[in-house]
Structures are given as C-alpha cells and as structure tokens.
Homo-oligomer: A and B are copies of this chain.
C-alpha cells in the first residue's frame, strides 16, 4: 500500500488539502472549527498519514537539516562527544544532522560542500577532530560555524577549547598543593600543535603569578604518546634531587600514562613522591589509571552544542574571534603535596 498523502487525508475527512495542512501544522488554527480539526486528525490517524519532508522542504525552502563536515570521525575517540553535543541540540530543535567525513582531502571536501549545498541544508558546521588553525575550504558558506578549529583568516564563528586557561588551571592546582618545581611534559614542536603553545603559556603564566622562576630544564618535550611521556619523565627524574621536579603537568593523558610508568620504574609513588596532572580527560583511560588521574577536560560535548546553537541561530557569535570554551579541571587522585625534603 502506497504511503498516504495529504490529499488522501483530505478526501477521507471531506475537506481540502489546505485545511488539512493547516490543522496538522497548527497554523491559522483559530479560524478552523474544532469539529473540522477533530475530523482531520482522525482522518490522518485513520489513513496512517506521515508527512513527506522532502515535499515540504521543496515548498518551504528549508530542510531542517544541518550539514556537519568533519575531517576525520574515525581517528580520535573524542569525536563522538562533539557529535553528541551537536546532535543533541539539533534534535531539541527538530533538526537532523547529515554527517560527512572528508578525511582531510580537499577533493572530498569540495564534493561534500557540493552535496550538502545541493541538499539545501539550513546550516553548516565544519569540525576538526583536534584543535587546529585551518584554511577554510573554498565554498564554505559565510555563516558556517567552525568547531574545534580557528579560521586562519579570521572572520568566522568558531569555537575552540580555552587551552591557555586549561594550562593555568592545571598548574594552579599543582602550585596550590605546594609544588615549586613543576615540569611541563610538552609535545615536540614538530607536531605544531596549537594546544601545545597555549598550554605552555598557561604554565608560564601561573609560574610567574606564583613567583616561580621557570627552569628551562623542566620544559621537556617528546612525542605526545605514552612512550614519549615515559622517556621525558625518566629524563626529568634523573635530574639531581635539588632540581628534580616534584610535579609534572603533561600535555595529554597518554603522556601522563607514560609518566606513571616512569615513576613506578623509579620506585616513586603517585601522588606521594610525584604529582601528575594530565590533559584531555580521555575516556576509558584517565579515570582508570592507578591512581586515577587528575586532568583537564576538553569540552567536546559543550563545543558541539555551542556550534550547533550558533548554526541554528539560537545564539550569536562574534566572528572576529573564536569563542573560548572553558576546560574544567577534573580532580582525581594524582595530586598531593610535594614530598618533604631536607632544605624545605
């Protein structure tokens, strides 16, 4: 049996399609008699009417769909939270999201833009799976919003994590616990991570506020993975005891995981002998380390929501400067006071 159309409902109720359309959409509803409305509703129910959004979209020129172009859904476990945030507000607003993954390929990007604009999406979001500065693809609509990336040229609504404040929060936590020799296990420069620069700024800023002279030896760089963290931490732990850090702020949770390993290797206990703060609040990891890791959360869900809210016009954004989303500290059990030492 073919799907029931508006005209079928109209026939069944003995009214015109216009009337049916109005009552079913609750439009101009005051001017239609209650009996008729009732009859229409019953008829719709009876024939099992479901509106055809394609036809409606063609007529109204709006599809209630938003396109979400992302560079790579697959490569990071964080992606999901961003999608979830975006999806939730879309649903709250009765919108659907079309997801396109371009895998960072310019051709695919062009094609995606084409497909989405052909699909007449009402709004568009361009998302990166980690904080980047991007050359906005040609053809991206003026009012598209950037998610987890900032436009190289500026002039676009965008949201990124407030990495600097996150770095500050991490180091502030350590300073508050009484630490003075605080290392930063950073990503190597060749990775060219904007997060790295910003978190480092936050680190320096809090040291300065606390009147602590930064020790260049405590700014260790490595590949931002567990093994890198392990090696960097090992080097730091090999320092003569008066220069050895009592706390480490790690660029990410994976490096922190490596730092845990190095500490254990040296027979150090966390947080008794060494305090550690990570970054990312990586799912299924940070909370499961032993002891559970104190870390700074990346606000992926919130950024996803924010982007969708401005995309749908629920919120205004200043296109001059990316919106900075706070990165909350997640306190667990890897921070304690520094160990008591001679000379303290």
Give the complex CA separation of A167 and B109 in angstroms: 40
- Which of B74, B87, B116, B285 makes the CB contact (< 8 A) with A81? B74
> Is A190 engaged at the interface, CB distance under 8 Å to the other chain?
no
> Is A97 engaged at the interface, CB distance under 8 Å to the other chain?
yes
> Is A52 engaged at the interface, CB distance under 8 Å to the other chain?
yes
Tell me if A290 and B230 are in contact (CB < 8 A): yes
> Is A4 engaged at the interface, CB distance under 8 Å to the other chain?
no
> Is A212 engaged at the interface, CB distance under 8 Å to the other chain?
no
Q: When A55-B58, A118-B53 are in contact, do A226 and B288 touch as well, CB less than 8 Å?
A: yes
> Is A294 engaged at the interface, CB distance under 8 Å to the other chain?
no
When distances are taken between beta carbons in the complex, the residues of chain B under 8 Å from A288 are 225-227, 254, 257-258
With both beta carbons as reference points, the residue of chain B lying nearest to A81 in the complex is identified as B74
Give the complex CA separation of A258 and B284 in angstroms: 12
> Is A99 engaged at the interface, CB distance under 8 Å to the other chain?
yes
Give the complex CA separation of A115 and B64 in angstroms: 10
When distances are taken between beta carbons in the complex, the residues of chain B under 8 Å from A76 are 80, 283-284
> Is A114 engaged at the interface, CB distance under 8 Å to the other chain?
yes
Q: How many chain copies does the complex carry? A: 2
With both beta carbons as reference points, the residue of chain B lying nearest to A63 in the complex is identified as B54
What 0/1 pattern do residues 284 to 311 of A give for CB contact below 8 A with B?
1100111000000000010000000000
Tell me if B65 and A74 are in contact (CB < 8 A): no
User: Would you list which residues of chain A between 158 and 181 have a CB under 8 Å from chain B?
Assistant: none
- Which of B73, B119, B258, B261 makes the CB contact (< 8 A) with A87? B73
> Is A313 engaged at the interface, CB distance under 8 Å to the other chain?
no
> Is A38 engaged at the interface, CB distance under 8 Å to the other chain?
no
Within the complex, the shortest CB–CB distance from A114 to chain B, in Å, comes to: 7
Give the complex CA separation of A65 and B54 in angstroms: 12
- Which of B97, B116, B284 makes the CB contact (< 8 A) with A99? B97
> Is A204 engaged at the interface, CB distance under 8 Å to the other chain?
no
When distances are taken between beta carbons in the complex, the residues of chain B under 8 Å from A55 are 58
When distances are taken between beta carbons in the complex, the residues of chain B under 8 Å from A93 are none
When distances are taken between beta carbons in the complex, the residues of chain B under 8 Å from A290 are 226-227, 230, 258, 261
Within the complex, the shortest CB–CB distance from A298 to chain B, in Å, comes to: 13
> Is A108 engaged at the interface, CB distance under 8 Å to the other chain?
yes
Within the complex, the shortest CB–CB distance from A86 to chain B, in Å, comes to: 9
Tell me if B119 and A289 are in contact (CB < 8 A): no
With both beta carbons as reference points, the residue of chain B lying nearest to A96 in the complex is identified as B98
When distances are taken between beta carbons in the complex, the residues of chain B under 8 Å from A87 are 73, 99-101
> Is A117 engaged at the interface, CB distance under 8 Å to the other chain?
yes
- Which of B114, B282, B301 makes the CB contact (< 8 A) with A74? B301
Tell me if B83 and A73 are in contact (CB < 8 A): yes
> Is A51 engaged at the interface, CB distance under 8 Å to the other chain?
yes
A-B contact pairs, 30 of them (CB 8 A): A50-B114, A50-B118, A54-B54, A54-B57, A54-B63, A54-B119, A55-B58, A65-B98, A74-B80, A74-B81, A76-B80, A79-B79, A79-B80, A80-B80, A87-B101, A88-B101, A91-B100, A91-B101, A96-B119, A97-B98, A98-B98, A226-B288, A226-B289, A227-B288, A227-B290, A254-B284, A254-B288, A257-B288, A284-B285, A285-B285
4 smallest beta-carbon distances between A and B, as pairs:
A77-B77, A74-B84, A226-B288, A53-B118
